[in-house]
Amino acid sequence: MTPTNEQIRAAIAEQANEWYVENRCGPLDREAAARFMTWLKTSPVHIEEYVATVALAGELKSAASRVQIPLESLLARARMEAEDVVTLDRTLPGQAATMRRHRGSPVRWLAAAAVLVLVAMATLWLTRDGERFGLSRTYRTAHGEQSRRVLPDGSVLRLNTDSRVTVHFSRRERAVDLERGQAFLQVMHEDMRGFRVAAGETQILDVGTQFDVYRRPGAVVVTVVEGTAAVYRGAPPLIPDGALPPEAVRVGAGYQVEVRGEVGLPRPVNAGAAVGWLRKQIAFDNEPLGAVANEFNRYGGMTIEIDDATLRSLPITGVFDAYDTGSFVAFLTTLKDVVVQKTATGVRVSKRAAAPQEK
């Protein structure tokens, strides 16, 4: 399957994030620096995504200072490559055609343009306050798609199917707005900046943790896998760094909390099963069949329809492949008094009609 432009762009953005994290960890050695410059010069899109990553991190000035090739050298290189192309255009027609294939190729034009863009952006980093940009970045997944992103601070963002988040990093805070769907965060600790996830009016404050946020219709479910998170409803906190709102509910590892109008009490759960989607699994323990079918409908192209209320409440236990709807449908056929019928869009599950009694 040919990747879409959006998928290609997402892959480049992931590479940009990884390069930023590598630069942030310390000076690159000569070989790594050469690979970094080669990657930047591959396409202006690479530079655009790298600049967006750095801007998102709120570190425009400091990132510029970490560029290991002086701006003067970059500018000189860009001018030299651009002059090579211009010179070729001034040669004799018979020579120009041959030379263009070697020195004046589109790749060389692209390299010159890329370096010029890098110089311009680096100059911008040095002459402006990055905090003024207020840049955000949106990540999304389509139906049935999952993704993994390394954020500029080294935190890892995993998105489940049909999800969308907007990430905004500033000097004071790292914030993720879960607009729909489900996200798993593996947060890198920073002393100077907290990490917050918003899902509607629900706020989740990281206290050094790995946690999952699932924005369902009418509810937000937060599952903590490692560390501690603080959950509350309301506006972002206007409190001193390190403090928590008094109404915040602390949720420890292995616990889950559901927010419906107000934050419920944390309850123990099998955290591994709750985030089974990271392994492309759906796990249920005495969950209603209707809820199980809804989960499968998030991933596959085959829609499962269950109209009967009694059947929808039938408890189901098991671990299923999220993308293998066929196996789950085969499992349904083994249930007593259950009929599975194929439709134009998927399958319909219903109760078997009672046999007529003999008179």
Instruction: State the first-to-last Cα distance of the chain, in angstroms, to the nearest integer.
Output: 61
Check whether 93 has a pLDDT greater than 50. no
Instruction: Say if residue 45's pLDDT is above 60.
Output: yes
Q: Are 313 and 290 in contact (CB under 8 A)?
A: yes
Q: What is the dihedral of CA 32, 36, 38, 40, to 10 degrees?
A: 180
Average model confidence (pLDDT) for the chain?
77
Query: Residue 134: left (phi > 0), alpha (psi -120 to 50), or beta?
Result: left
User: What residue has token string 């500029």?
Assistant: 152
Phi, psi for 96 (deg, rounded to 5):
-60, -40
Report the candidate in 72, 188, 177, 193 with the shortest Cα–Cα distance to residue 131. Answer: 193
Three-state secondary structure of 180-219: EEEEEEECCCCCCCEEEEEECCEEEEEEEEEEEEEEECCE
Average the pLDDT over 276-294 and give the result: 91
Cα separation, 17 vs 22, whole angstroms:
9
Length of the chain: 359
Q: Which pair of structure tokens corresponds to residue 7? A: 């998928």
pLDDT of residue 36: 83
Gyration radius (Cα) of the chain, Å = 27
Out of 91-95, 195-199, 345-349, pick the least confident.
91-95
pLDDT in tens, 181-218: 999 999 988 877 889 999 999 999 987 789 999 999 89
Structure tokens at 224: 């903590």
Cβ(289)–Cβ(350) under 8 Å? no
Please report, rounded to a whole number, the percentage of residues in the chain having pLDDT higher than 90.
32
Give the CA-trace dihedral at 97, 101, 104, 110, to 10 degrees. Answer: 140
Query: Which residues is 198 bridged to in the sheet?
Result: 177, 203
Helix, coil or strand: residue 270 = coil
Q: Which residues contact 317 (CB under 8 A, 6 or more apart)?
A: 284, 285, 286, 287
How many whole angstroms separate alpha carbon 68 and alpha carbon 62?
12
Please give the domain boundaries of the chain with CATH numbers for all domains: 5-132 (no CATH), 137-269 (2.60.120.1440), 280-351 (3.55.50.30)
For residue 269, what pLDDT is reported? 93
Give residue-wise pLDDT tens across range 115-173: 555 555 554 444 443 334 445 788 999 999 999 988 888 899 999 999 999 998 877 78
22-26, 30-34, 144-148 — most confident range: 144-148
pLDDT top residue among 86 and 244: 244
The conformation of residue 43, written as its DSSP 8-state character, comes to -
pLDDT reported for residue 102: 40
Distance (Å, whole) CA 14 – CA 79:
30
Q: Which residues pair with 351 in a beta bridge?
A: 338
